[in-house]
Structure 1
């Protein structure tokens, strides 16, 4: 588990644990100890207990009476639901951006970051850049609030991505991003929509493969 330098509230502990779960530092089935984490962050057990409850409310942990708190399994249904919503929303965003032709410098810059992270094997950095790429498209469409809504939906999807990006070819994702950006820069709405749909449907292939490889990590 990665230590945090300073934590004074249950929210800060929650945010730290939330990131650890999404990044795969805390795998499904891991038991969380109030005593150990409280000692690690130099807090009493009460804010840690509150953080566990919040994590459970996020669907990322299970609080089992008389047994303890465990990191929950990845919900395949939640992954597929978030992917479906993202495709519907982002295909419309892509069409809007292609039609309005805003500045796409931020999206282009993320491709460079992703290439570097791929070479260095920096999976967390790659995924953070991936998120910024999609967020930049939403901002280019003047729909930053829409991206915030999507962020709240895709916690389980991000857990899958941190697993799959360690296994699957990240250069394929970069190529898909480049196809999206090229179509947007050309003002090709149909091409941009097709490219973003192709990109987001990649998860339909990855999910069953990862579930087969790690059955204990997933639930329906």
Structure 2
């Protein structure tokens, strides 16, 4: 993290600290086992320790850290079980979302999704992994907006934190962006046809990618994963 972090007065401090730490852990710049210091982080934000503790609690709820009394807060290893459970829950939510989106998507919204996919392709071509994953999230977020159920995205974000760590480890190794973009286009084509069944099938196949990518990445990055 940067030496000094600038706060936005319009957003609660604990949420900002959570977002910064979540991004650092998810993007694999903070490895498992790292001790997170309340004192150091509160100094970086120039705040008291209370909002830092609140951020730690939120990270623990998302399976990213473990809070051990009298010992400290440590970044967790990745749990294959938690990844599988998160993917299952996400598929259930997004299957319902995509069916609703297929029934009420507008031409303008379809153009917005297509523009997003063109930006994804550009990011992939330039090996901009962080940009690609941001656009990937934006694509899925937009589906909840189209369905008129944006609250669903907040739920998805909470459960997919552990999944996102695997995404960063697997990108280019197991799930190359170009393949994911092809899957996104299948979702878009189903929406263009206003076909709920095809849209649901496309998004389920897309989210199943996580099933096939976890095992090989766990074998090649054993230090990042819990022992089964």
Query: TM-score w.r.t. structure 1 length?
Result: 0.87
Q: 1:182 to 1:5 in 2, by over 3 A?
A: same
Question: Which residue is 1:215 aligned to?
Answer: 222
SS in 2 for 1:74: coil
Aligned length: 220
Query: Aligned match of 1:199 in 206, 210, 220?
Result: 206
Q: Does 1:117 align with 2:150?
A: no
Question: Which residue is 1:59 aligned to?
Answer: 63
Comparing 39-48 with 192-201, which one deviates more in the overlay? 39-48
Q: Does 1:174 align with 2:181?
A: yes
CA RMSD in angstroms comes to 2.3
Q: 1:43 to 1:142 in 2, by over 3 A?
A: closer
Structure 2: unaligned runs, 5 residues or longer: none
Q: 1:112 to 1:124 in 2, by over 3 A?
A: same
Question: Which residue is 2:77 aligned to?
Answer: 73
For residues 139 and 98 of structure 2, what CA distance do their matches in structure 1 show?
Answer: 12
For residues 185 and 114 of structure 1, what CA distance do their matches in structure 2 show?
Answer: 19
For residues 3 and 178 of structure 2, what CA distance do their matches in structure 1 show?
Answer: 32
Q: Does 1:143 align with 2:173?
A: no
Within-5 A mapping of 1:151-162? 151-162=157-168
Query: Is the Cα contact below 8 Å between 2:121 and 2:181 reproduced in 1?
Result: yes
Q: CA deviation at 1:85?
A: 1.8
Q: Does 1:12 align with 2:16?
A: yes
Query: TM-score w.r.t. structure 2 length?
Result: 0.84
Query: Is the Cα contact below 8 Å between 1:176 and 1:195 reproduced in 2?
Result: yes
Query: Is the Cα contact below 8 Å between 1:107 and 1:133 reproduced in 2?
Result: yes
Q: CA deviation at 1:112?
A: 1.3
